[in-house]
Every structure is written in structure tokens, then in C-alpha cells.
Amino acid sequence: MQKIQVYDTTLRDGTQRKDISLSCEDKLNIARHLDQLGVDFIEGGWPGSNPKDVEFFKRAARITWHHAKIAAFGSTCGAGKSPAEDDNIKALLEAETPYCTVVGKTSILHVREVLRTTLENNLRMIEESLAYLASQGRGVIYDAEHFFDGYKEDPAYAIETVRVAARAGAETVVLCDTNGGTMPWEISEIIRDVRAKVQIPLGIHTHNDSECAVSNAIEAVKEGCIQVQGTINGYGERCGNANLCSVIPNLELKLGLKVLPPGNLPRLAELSRYVAELANLSYDEHLPYVGRAAFAHKGGIHVAAIRRNVNSYQHIDPALVGNKMTILVSELSGRGNLLSKAEEYGIQIQGEDQVNRVLAAVKTLESQGFSFEAAEASVIMLFKRQEEGYVPPFELIDFSAVVEHRQGRGVLAEATVKVRVDGEIVHTAAEGNGPVNALDKALRKALSERYTSINNFHLADYKVRILDGYNGTEAVTRVLIETRNGRKGWSTVGASSNIIEASWQALVDSVEYGLMVCE
């Protein structure tokens, strides 16, 4: 089985994405996780560009890497300099990494308009820079920047730059679609020509400006490239780089190639989410393979088929990449969706009528603004309330919430709650920093003596969405509440033109569900 090298450039190319800024500690933590995943190369940054990358390489040199080789990235020497006197080349050596990745120009446009030098001098810069680094004991990878655009301008010159890099001692020449505009069939044709004329291992580095980065990387491997460069989650400048979270499983599961060490592919989903968390970016739930929605099924027909054969609407077993299948409940649901959800949560179905009543309730409530996809605890409460003999832990009699300005204290909220618990009426009041917080405290106070587990509940998230903004302050509001009890969490929903009522609905579901599973 052919081995394909994975070269991760999340810590360098990935950080060029808008809104990403990683600390040195963040970069080291991501590098450790990449090493555990089993990538072959980790590009740590450009040591000649900023102090943070210099610190990264100093600290990385003291770490034992079990699988990956750390690479420092830089450019060829300047147009009027030799490698020995070039500051960028010196910085690469001072990084003390086993590998140096050097980027050089392939495109005549860039040589003449950006470097403003001759084609011959550009070849000299490539050859002397790589040869000098190799003579200093470094493994050298050459990134042929703008290779495919350069090939389209002048195939002979583009291929000559590859020959020069090979002659100078590069272990691998990586062909870069830097502007991301090359199509998959062009990738195939051009790489085929290069392989026929130059005998050196080739790699591929693609950008996603035409939404082809992953496809182009796969095509390149099919044409014989032995190294794929990319980033976790496809992070990168402009539209991003080839997403390794898609490339790796495509190569392993679809092409049957050896990429990661055996047994490591299931770590991919966790790594994807970990990198997003450290990058402080909202996680894309719809990423192929690793996103939480990648194996989420909503349509009633789909779910009915999956209940008969799980492969009917899934192209792989989600566990292969560390993911899992989920069934969503919504207005598009059929009975299968609800049966699957009940089975998932251990709900004993009491006949078809119960399922039909819950399904009707879901469709009616969603038409009023509720959304149950992200509020599974509210779905479970619909089931429980349809059970014969179910007795809720408390019954609301009434509540009130007041927000007022008090001199010396500013804006303050106060709520009163009257509930029936075990046949007794409990009437409590509480203050909070807002009406929902005050209601939450008052309800907890009313229940805490009877249900001590409620003292461990805490509101982890509170989201409000206006559904029909054209109605202004009369608009229907949807409230999603996430509650946690230690490491366990659950989500509930409410909807109303009155935001307090919507919040109360979600709050009651949250407390009732929590008491059901925690008492």
C-alpha cells in the first residue's frame, strides 16, 4: 500500500486566515495534537518574520516529537544576495529544525514583476538556496509557488525550476496552486507532464479559491504526488487551503492509501473541533466527515430508510473518522425520527398513538416558532408528558417578573414564582441581573428543598433569535437554553411573542428534564 505524506501547514498558512491569531502556546498545543494524529510534517511558521515563530521553534526543539518532523518555512535568498549572507536563510538555520521548506518563484510574471529580476537569476536563487541548506544538514522541501499559473505562462521555464530544485538537493518538490484557480483536469494534465520530464518525488499544495482545493489534491495524488500539504478545517488566506480533514479520509477510505498510522483516523473529528476552539472560531458543523451535521439526518424519508439499513443515506461509518450519526427532530420529521430519538434516550414507547401525538405537537410548535433540532431535551419532555401516568415534578400556578430602576442600585429584576410541589404550594421570590435570571433563581429556590440535585444545575448558554423582525418589538422570539450539571448538558427551547414567556418555557423544560435524569 502506497504511503502518502501529510504535511500540515495550519500553524503557518492556516494562521493567514482572516480572524485567526494563535499564541505560541496555542501553536505548540496544536502541534502536539497533530503529532498524535500522525502527520508526517508540521510547518511551524516563518522564523524570519516575527518573534512568536522564533519562540515556537526554540520551544519545539526541546519537545520529543513521536511521529512528525518539524519544518521551518522561508523563501529563497534575495535577488542580489548569496544564501550565506541572506537573513531569511540564516533564520531558517537558526530555527534548528530537521527540515526547511523553501518557497521560490515559478511564474515568469512573479519573477519579473514581483521579484523584479531575471529568469536566470531566479534559477540561481533557487539552486543556491536549496543547495546551501542541504549542505548544512537540513532536509529540504521546495514549494514551487504559483506553479500551475507559471506552467500555463511558460511550461518549459516552470519545469526548469523543478529541475533546478531537484539538482540542488530537494527531497520533494511541491507544486503549488497558490491562487487557487486551477481546475482538477488541469492539475492532472500538468502533473502528468512534469512527472514525464523530471524524476523527483512531487507534492501538492492547493488553495480553495475555486472550491477545488480538496479535489485538486486528490487528483494530484492519483497522478503520483506522494505528499499533500493542507490545513486542519481548510483554514488559510482568502478562501482557505485544502482541508486535511477531508483529504485524509478521502485518501484512506476512498483510494485505499496509507496516510496515518493504523488506528489514528478516528482522532480526526476531535482534532478538527480542538483546532477551531483554540483558533476562537465558530465551528463549521457542516464540514464533510468531521462536522456534527455530516451524519445528521432530518428528513422523515431518510430516517425511515436508515432505520432499515444504516448505509442507505451514509457513505461511510461515522466512527471511522471519530464522528457519530444523529437524528434530528423537526417539522420535516416522520415517525422514524421520533422513534430513533426515543431509543437514543431510553424512552419506552407506549403505542403508536403516543408517537403520533408527539409528532403532531412537534409540527404544530415548529409552525409557531419552536425549533427542536438543537433542543433534544424539549423533545424528550414532549414524550414524557404524553406518557400515561406521568406526574411532573412541579406544577406552575403563576409567576411574575418586574424590571425597575432603583436609586443607588441601577436596573434590577425581581421575580416571584408560585408552584405546586408534592401537593403543597410554594411561593418564592428572587432578584437577578435580568428577568430570566430572577425567574431561574426563584424557581430553583422553590424546588431546592425537595430536589437537591437542582443546586448543581447551571445555565451554560442563553440564545435569543428574533424570527419575524418586520414586526418590531412584537416579533416572535425563540429562546434556546443550555443547562449543565457537571459534564452533562442538555438544551431546551421556547417561543413566543413575549420573550419572558419564551424564556420560561425553555426554563421549565430544562429544569423538568434535569430533575428527571438527575434525581
In terms of CATH architecture, what is 350-391+457-519?
A: 2-Layer Sandwich (3.30)
Q: What's the grid cell of residue 94?
A: 537558526
**CATH class given for the domain over 394-450:** alpha beta
Give residue 469's pLDDT: 61
Strand pairing class (172-177; 139-145): parallel
User: Residue 224: how many CB atoms within 10 A of its CB?
Assistant: 13
The model's pLDDT over 108-153, given as tens digits with 9 standing for 90+, comes to 999 999 989 999 999 999 999 999 999 999 999 999 999 999 999 9
User: Residue 65: how many CB atoms within 10 A of its CB?
Assistant: 14
C-alpha–C-alpha distance, residues 152 and 148, integer Å: 6
C-alpha–C-alpha distance, residues 146 and 105, integer Å: 7
φ, ψ for residue 334 (rounded to 5)? Answer: -115, -175
Q: What's the grid cell of residue 220?
A: 494530484
The model's pLDDT over 449-506, given as tens digits with 9 standing for 90+, comes to 898 888 888 888 888 888 776 666 667 888 888 988 877 888 899 989 888 899 989 9
Residue 428 three-state SS: strand
pTM above 0.85, yes or no: no
φ, ψ for residue 406 (rounded to 5)? Answer: -115, 130
**DSSP secondary structure letters along 429-458:** EEEESSHHHHHHHHHHHHHTTT-GGGGG-E
The model's pLDDT over 15-41, given as tens digits with 9 standing for 90+, comes to 999 989 999 999 999 999 999 999 999
C-alpha–C-alpha distance, residues 425 and 35, integer Å: 60
Q: One fold for both 5-278 and 350-391+457-519?
A: no
Give residue 60's pLDDT: 96
C-alpha–C-alpha distance, residues 8 and 69, integer Å: 10
Query: What's the average model confidence in pLDDT over 188-201?
Result: 96
The model's pLDDT over 339-388, given as tens digits with 9 standing for 90+, comes to 776 777 777 777 777 778 777 887 888 777 787 777 888 888 888 888 88
| Domain range summary for the chain, segments of one domain joined by + | 5-278, 350-391+457-519, 394-450
The angle formed by the CA atoms of residues 267, 270 and 273, to the nearest 5 degrees, is 145
φ, ψ for residue 42 (rounded to 5)? Answer: -120, 115
C-alpha–C-alpha distance, residues 132 and 129, integer Å: 5
Q: What's the grid cell of residue 63?
A: 519537545
Residue type, 54: V
Under CATH, which number does the domain 5-278 receive?
A: 3.20.20.70
Query: Is 90 exceeded by the pLDDT of residue 300?
Result: no
The angle formed by the CA atoms of residues 94, 241 and 86, to the nearest 5 degrees, is 25
φ, ψ for residue 137 (rounded to 5)? Answer: 85, 15
**DSSP secondary structure letters along 340-393:** HHHHHTTPPP--HHHHHHHHHHHHHHHHTT---TT-HHHHHHHHHHHSTT---S
Q: What's the grid cell of residue 65?
A: 516529537
CA distances from 480 to 444, 461, 483 (A): 19, 8, 10
